[in-house]
Amino acid sequence: MEMGNTLAFLVFPYIALALFTAGHAYRYVTDRYGWNAKSSEFLEKENLFFGVTMFHWGVLLTLAGHAGGLLIPQRLFDAAGIDAAAHTAIAFYSGLAVGHAAFIGAVLLLFRRIFFRRIRRTTTLNDVVTLLALIFVSGVGVFNVLFGHYDLLYTVAPWIRGIVTFAPDPMLMRDVPVSYKIHILSAFALLAFSPFSRLVHIWSAPVGYFFRGWILFRRKVAE
């Protein structure tokens, strides 16, 4: 039990993070032309819009919520006047909305990949695995929000802070319910897989686009 817990919540997360880091470096060096979102908008637009918009808003806000809610210690929330009960309530209602958006959006994207011939023909096994993994991780996350009702502020949250500050304490995870453990372990597995998928596009968000100067196009008038 102790050994399994240590392997799952100490060894495995660091293996996943090492693969995540080295995998991105390797992919960047060896496959720079393949480093993109592989847009399929030019093949099919109407059904893409709803799924891709819902999914991206959902997943980006979910990631922001995870970072803010888990990485910031409760004592700082307390200092800001947000006690544990209020923190949990905010996490519950926001998680319910954005988690569902990510999950339903990902299901719609998978349906589109399966049921539209033009999209199916350009879909690889890697694309399907990526979407299935996103559906699984977000699905179990939504399940936990709906049915878990577990107080993770003093267990999962300090554990993940220990992982990112290189002071891990796997014992914090020992009595966490199994559905939370599955969510966490599958999310780390997805992190390890992501450099080898189209998910690399996350790191190339076109932020510069919003700040760049206008590009002027002038018609050349024949004299």
Q: Whose Cβ is closer to ligand HEM: residue 48's or residue 173's?
A: 48
**Contact present, 142 and 192 (Cβ < 8 Å):** no
**Residue number closest to ligand HEM, CB atom:** 39
Residue 168 has which token pair? Answer: 């891990």
Q: At what angle do helices 156-164 and 46-71 cross, to 10 degrees?
A: 90
Min CB(162)–ligand HEM separation in Å? 24
Question: Which parts of this chain interact with ligand HEM (CB under 6 A)?
Answer: 37, 39-41, 48, 52, 56, 59-60, 109, 113, 130-131, 134, 198-199, 201-202, 205
**Closest distance to ligand HEM from the beta carbon of 185 (Å):** 17
Cβ 39 to ligand HEM, closest distance in Å? 3
DSSP state of 146: I
In eight-state DSSP terms, residue 195 is G
Shorter beta-carbon distance to ligand HEM: residue 106 or 176: 106
Q: Which two tokens stand for residue 188?
A: 């780390």
Shortest Å, Cβ 28 to ligand HEM: 16
Strands (E), 111-151: none
Specify the residue, 48 or 145, whose C-beta has the smaller distance to ligand HEM: 48
Nearer to ligand HEM, 109 or 172 (CB): 109
Question: Backbone phi, then psi, for 57, in 5-degree steps?
Answer: -60, -45
Residue 180 near residue 148, CB atoms below 8 Å? yes
* Beta carbon nearer to ligand HEM, 51 or 148: 51
HSE-CB of 217 using CA atoms within 13 angstroms: 0
CB of 156 to ligand HEM, least distance (A): 20
Q: Nearest distance from residue 3's CB to ligand HEM, in Å?
A: 32
Task: Output 161 or 201, the one with its CB closest to ligand HEM.
Answer: 201
* Minimum distance from residue 170 beta carbon to ligand HEM (Å): 26
Cβ proximity to ligand HEM, 10 vs 119, nearer residue: 119
Question: Using CA atoms, how far apart are residues 34 and 186, in angstroms rounded to an integer?
Answer: 25
Q: Is 124 left (phi over 0), alpha (psi -120 to 50) or beta?
A: beta
Q: How far apart are CA 201 and CA 172, in angstroms?
A: 34
In this structure, are residues 209 and 202 in contact, taking their beta carbons and an 8 Å threshold?
A: no
